[in-house]
Amino acid sequence: MGRGRWRHGGDGGSKYFVGGAHAKRMDLIHTSVEKVRIDLKTGFVLRHPVASRNLDFAVINPKYVGKKNRPRVLRWGAFNFSVAKEPNNPKTEEDDGYVVTYVLNENTGESRVLVMDAKSPNLDTVTVVKLPRRVPYGFHGLFVTETDLKKL
């Protein structure tokens, strides 16, 4: 289970719901989003697929991990991977920042990096960078702050 979002079940603290990506067999390279119900009293776990399409791990503002948050979904038509949410300032509201992702057009083999405004209703594109080569499946990046880079 990847990084997900938790929501209290409303029963006094014994039931929780988590949503995240699940890969049944890594050799198939297919992950799907699932809603998982966990009953802490009985140990019962119920998994329910939310979407059958192949998806990458969901990413949210790190400040909201384990808390109620507002997920966003990108459009169909291209293969998105290594999505990252980068806040302008970690102390600001959830959507104040950017969503950064690689996008592969499987019809043309063209890869691009998209930077989108996380606060805009439709994830408006701030900039697009066409890459000189196709980015392979399974490639993941890590975005770090300038402060963290200076520590290296």
| DSSP labels, 26-52 | GGGT-EEEEEEEEETTT--EEEEES--
Q: Residue 6: pLDDT above 60?
A: no
Lowest mean pLDDT among 103-107, 116-120, 124-128: 103-107
Q: Residue 122: pLDDT above 60?
A: yes
Do 84 and 113 share a domain, yes or no?
yes
pTM, 2 dp: 0.47
CB 34 within 8 A of CB 16: no
Residue 140 assigned to a binding site: yes
Query: Per the domain annotation, does 6 fall within a domain?
Result: no
- How many domains does the structure of the chain reveal? 2
Query: Per the domain annotation, does 5 fall within a domain?
Result: no
**Which of the listed residues 5, 37, 54 is the one where a domain comes to its end?**
54
Do 27 and 49 share a domain, yes or no?
yes
Q: Looking only at Cα atoms, what is the longest distance across the chain?
A: 54
Range of the domain at 48: 14-54
DSSP strands (E only) in 1-152: 5-8, 15-23, 31-39, 45-49, 79-87, 97-105, 110-117, 125-130
Q: Indicate the DSSP class of residue 135.
A: P
Do 109 and 136 share a domain, yes or no?
yes
- What pLDDT sits at residue 25? 57
Burial, 103: exposed, middle or buried (Cβ in 10 Å; 0-12, 13-18, 19+)?
buried
Do 72 and 48 share a domain, yes or no?
no
Do 29 and 94 share a domain, yes or no?
no
